[in-house]
Amino acid sequence: MTGAGDTHREGVVGDGHPAGTGWVVAAHGELDQDTLAPLEEALAAAADRHPLVVLDVGSVTFGDSSFLNLLLRLHHQTTLRIAAPGEQLRRLFALTGADTVLSVYPSVEEAVAGS
């Protein structure tokens, strides 16, 4: 069965894969208003098909307010867990208070398990 986000899209979205009852979407590179559309499509498709969406941001080098806005919108639509954020994203989440709203985990495995 083909899942959401299982194709490479314009460099910011990697291959997705099933994880338990959820789907992992891998993002990488710089995520801003000019590059965000493929990720938004992959996350929306995953949320439509799976009760849990894990976003692996371990390879994201930059995220701006449009990226943060996407995460907050998706958080209200499905169970979203953010996995493996680097220093820049951790700082963005902390400065905006998003880390008190979003479920952030140190690894994909921990995000899938919810621990």
φ and ψ of 2, to 5 deg:
-85, 135
Alpha helices in the chain (DSSP H): 37-49, 65-75, 87-96, 108-113
Q: How far, CA to CA in Å, does 28 sit from each of 52, 57, 112, 114?
A: 20, 6, 19, 22
Averaged pLDDT in 10-residue chunks for the chain of 115 residues:
40 89 95 95 95 97 96 95 97 96 97 91
Tell me, what's the pLDDT at 83? 98
DSSP 87: H
User: Could you tell me the pTM of the whole model?
Assistant: 0.88
Give the type of residue at 31. Answer: L
Distance (Å) of CA 3 to CA 23, 28, 66: 8, 19, 25
Output the pLDDT for position 11: 78
Q: What is the pLDDT of residue 9?
A: 40
Instruction: Give the pLDDT confidence score for residue 20 in this predicted structure.
Output: 86
pLDDT at site 49: 94
Residue 4 has a pLDDT of: 44
**What is the predicted pLDDT for the residue at 15?**
85
